[in-house]
């Protein structure tokens, strides 16, 4: 097939939800991808924070191959035991905050959040859910209801009842909202889709205290921040913040659709048979891949590497901000989740388009931002090659 044929078929049959980029990706290797014509691009989006150890990663290929030769899906699915699932649980529990003792696997982040919200209602016997403005928790009806961005909500009103919002990072707002009806407070420890907003450890520890005092379960949505994206394996784990549920997806299986949620012993003790399930619920293929990814993150000390690469980015981008003060308003980030905020969305779009012309994928975020979240094992020279393209693109747009 040629790119042209692929465009025609997708444009004809794919549901019309996206403004597509006219590039048809055929293959990848590490942080690089190639289109059908063999043109090479650098991927600073890692498929939206997913291919955390790079494209066509050999340890993933090996896990896929060897597990697929054995079994993909168990008879009676989760009712039977699986050495692949047990292997994943063993390695995952070694990196999970120790107070989170039980896990259930899902296929996506939205599904994990959906389940955590549902189960929090059951455990507390309360209905209300508090979330934060600008948050993003998924696109199912309950996670869209928990998402604090009008663009993801307003066309679908009325959404689920009993969802309320507080200002991200505002403790007084949360304190006032917490009452005897609140089952759960769901929060991203760093907002990703909302524009890379970072919370302090002090704030999150206070949130833990307020929720616990109110009998409200705290759900940390680490779908985007988990698995070393910002340095530590999990943001809340790194800070010692004790949450009741921790949800995960994206990086967990490096590109294979997979997710999960972990819960405390106390929460698990209040759940019973039939409270949750699913057709796949820890399918052996997904488990084998996730195991290979987590093992890679540990064996290669990716956490330290991410912190190092993140510092390089912030330092280089800081120089751009000094050079183009009218164009760049702010630079925020932690590890390899970074946003450059431009003066307006036209500039951000122009820079993003110019990056693509120069064969670099970045992600325009919240209109005036460009977010980068490349593979976590990116090499310094690859990072600098991509940053060089961004710098040239910004220079071109700034004139």
Contact residues for ligand PLP (CB under 6 A)?
Answer: 108-110, 113, 136-138, 188, 192-193, 221, 223-224, 249
Phi, psi angles (nearest 5°) of residue 190 = -135, 125
Whether cis (ω within 30° of 0) applies to the bond prior to 343 is no
In the bound state with ligand PLP, the residue whose beta carbon lies nearer, of 188 and 382, is 188
The two tokens of residue 340 are 């450059």
In the bound state with ligand PLP, the residue whose beta carbon lies nearer, of 159 and 316, is 159
Contact indicator for 150, 165 with CB cutoff of 8 Å: no
* CB of residue 106 to ligand PLP, shortest distance in Å: 9
Distance CA 44, CA 105 (A): 28
Distance CA 355, CA 300 (A): 30
* CB of residue 249 to ligand PLP, shortest distance in Å: 4
In the bound state with ligand PLP, the residue whose beta carbon lies nearer, of 152 and 242, is 152
* CB of residue 395 to ligand PLP, shortest distance in Å: 30
Residue nearest to ligand PLP (CB): 109
In the bound state with ligand PLP, the residue whose beta carbon lies nearer, of 291 and 363, is 363
Contact indicator for 185, 241 with CB cutoff of 8 Å: no
Three-state SS sequence of 44-89: CCHHHHCCCCCECCHHHHHHHHHHHHHCCCCCCHHHCCCHHHHHHH
Residue 198 burial (CB count, 10 A)? 16
* CB of residue 192 to ligand PLP, shortest distance in Å: 5
In the bound state with ligand PLP, the residue whose beta carbon lies nearer, of 67 and 134, is 134
Distance CA 376, CA 32 (A): 13
In the bound state with ligand PLP, the residue whose beta carbon lies nearer, of 192 and 374, is 192
Give me the sign of the Cα torsion angle 50, 52, 56, 58.
negative
């Amino acid at each position: 097939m040629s790119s042209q044929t692929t465009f025609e078929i997708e444009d004809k049959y794919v549901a019309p939800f996206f403004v597509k980029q006219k590039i048809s990706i055929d293959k990848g290797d590490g942080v690089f991808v190639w289109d059908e014509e063999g043109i090479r691009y650098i991927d600073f989006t890692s498929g939206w924070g997913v291919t955390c150890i790079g494209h066509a990663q050999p340890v993933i290929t090996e896990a896929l191959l060897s597990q697929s030769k054995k079994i993909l899906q168990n008879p009676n699915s989760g009712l039977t035991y699986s050495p692949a699932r047990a292997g994943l649980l063993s390695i995952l529990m070694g990196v999970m905050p120790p107070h989170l003792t039980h896990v259930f696997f899902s296929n996506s982040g939205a599904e994990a959040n959906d389940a955590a919200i549902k189960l929090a209602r059951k455990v507390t016997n309360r209905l209300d859910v508090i979330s934060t403005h600008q948050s993003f928790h998924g696109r199912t009806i309950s996670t869209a209801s928990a998402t604090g961005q009008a663009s993801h909500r307003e066309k679908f009103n009325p959404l689920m009842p009993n969802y309320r919002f507080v200002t991200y990072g505002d403790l007084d707002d949360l304190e006032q909202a917490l009452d005897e009806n609140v089952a759960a407070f769901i929060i991203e420890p760093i907002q990703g889709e909302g524009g890379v907003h970072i919370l302090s450890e002090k704030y999150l520890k206070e949130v833990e205290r307020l929720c616990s005092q109110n009998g409200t379960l705290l759900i940390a949505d680490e779908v985007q921040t988990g698995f070393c994206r910002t340095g530590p394996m999990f943001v809340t784990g790194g800070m010692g913040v004790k949450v009741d549920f921790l949800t995960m997806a994206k990086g967990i299986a490096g590109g294979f659709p997979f997710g999960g949620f972990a819960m405390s012993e106390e929460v698990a003790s209040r759940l019973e048979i039939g409270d949750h399930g699913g057709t796949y619920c820890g399918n052996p293929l997904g488990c084998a891949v996730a195991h290979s990814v987590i093992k890679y993150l540990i064996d290669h000390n990716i956490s330290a590497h991410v912190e190092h690469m993140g510092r390089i980015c912030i330092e280089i981008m800081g120089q751009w901000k000094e050079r183009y003060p009218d164009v760049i308003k702010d630079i925020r980030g932690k590890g390899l989740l970074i946003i450059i905020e431009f003066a307006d969305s036209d500039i951000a779009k122009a820079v993003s388009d110019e990056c693509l012309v120069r064969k670099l994928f970045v992600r325009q975020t919240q209109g005036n931002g460009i977010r980068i979240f490349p593979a976590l094992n990116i090499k310094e020279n690859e990072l600098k090659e991509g940053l060089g393209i961004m710098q040239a693109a910004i220079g071109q747009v700034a004139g």
